A = this chain, B = another copy of it.
Amino acid sequence: MAGPASLIGLDWGTTSLRAYRIANDGSVQERREGPLGILAITDGDFAGALARTIGDWLRAEPGLPVLASGMIGSRQGWHEAPYAPCPAGAADLSDRLVTVDGPDESVYLAPGLSTREPGTGVPDVMRGEETQILGALEALPDADLFVLPGTHSKWATVEGGRITDFRTWMTGEVFDVLRRHSILGRLMEGDGQDEEAFLDGVDRGAAEAAGVLHAIFAARTFGLMGDLPGTALAPYLSGVLIGAEIAGARAWSGGRKPVVIASGRLTDAYLQAMARLGMAGEAAAPDAVVRGLFGLARAAGLLERDHG
């Protein structure tokens, strides 16, 4: 544990808890990660889970502010931090922090973000991604479109330091349930990659006028007919779904250049898919969530109050 910290930042989601000891220049001094996502904490003892994960950090530096973002602030989490409406930047979010009693001291929970589609009023929501977007924006202040691929992919537009609007695509979860629970999984073999099958899928998912509910069926018929080996079927299906997402998101976001915030492997897949569809994208720097949490703490006056 090198030197005094200025903030403990928590990226606390559905399946995992990532904790960061953050120095007063925003750099990471120490990090921990465990499977203590909110779904794993069935007794509601979030303070206990936090004490088990970083109790030594808290005891070593009493009074250090603790700020968490992600599903921990949802109705199924520690306490609900109601959604902030778009447009919203760090100042808007920091106005809406919710405080809960931690193991030793208070823990601040960041709100999620909500939007409604103009005209139809259809709502959309995110929790945790807003913090990553604002963090990634610090390193790329001119970026105006961010993509967070995954279980529920989010595409968000940004102007003047605030998230102006966003949409969700259920790409990752649809892939997962189709693979594990539908007939499409029956002919699939292995967990390998197959770049050619993936990119063929991207083409098809983006171009198929009959829609994705039709396009995905080829992940069965290619196998039945022997056109693709079993090992190529999962990459192909993944491509179809990601291609459909990118085409839909391009229709929504209208020609902006997307910045991808994800793990290295997922970032590569999305950048490859975008390139295949003639769309230039770039990768965000790592640890966007750390920069986002630090910026949020600064906007909320937590850094000054405790260590100013």
Contacts and interface: CB of A to CB of B under 8 A. Distances in A.
B248 A210 contact: yes
Interface string A154-177: 000000000000011111011001
A214 B167 contact: yes
Contacts of A124: 217-218, 221
18 contacts: A120-B204, A123-B227, A125-B224, A152-B217, A168-B221, A169-B211, A169-B214, A170-B216, A174-B182, A174-B213, A174-B216, A177-B181, A180-B181, A210-B248, A211-B211, A211-B212, A211-B251, A212-B213
A225 interface: yes
Given A174-B216, A209-B252, 13 more contacts: A114-B225, A120-B204, A123-B221, A168-B214, A168-B217, A170-B182, A170-B184, A170-B214, A210-B249, A211-B211, A211-B248, A213-B241, A213-B244
A210 B251 contact: yes
A248 B213 contact: yes
A237 B214 CA distance: 17
A176 to B, nearest CB: 8
A224 B214 CA distance: 29
A261 B50 CA distance: 57
B245 A213 contact: yes
A248 B167 contact: no
A3 to B, nearest CB: 41
A199 B244 CA distance: 24
Task: Report the copy number of this chain in the oligomer.
Answer: 2
Interface of A: 114, 120-125, 152, 167-171, 173-174, 177-178, 180-184, 204, 209-214, 216-218, 221-222, 224-225, 227, 241, 244-245, 247-249, 251-252
A202 to B, nearest CB: 14
A247 B244 CA distance: 15
A183 B172 CA distance: 12
Contacts of A225: 114, 123, 125
A295 B213 CA distance: 32
A249 B218 CA distance: 16
A34 to B, nearest CB: 22
A49 to B, nearest CB: 22
Given A123-B224, A177-B177, A216-B170, A245 B211 contact: yes
Nearest to A185: B177
A204 B122 CA distance: 10
A219 to B, nearest CB: 10
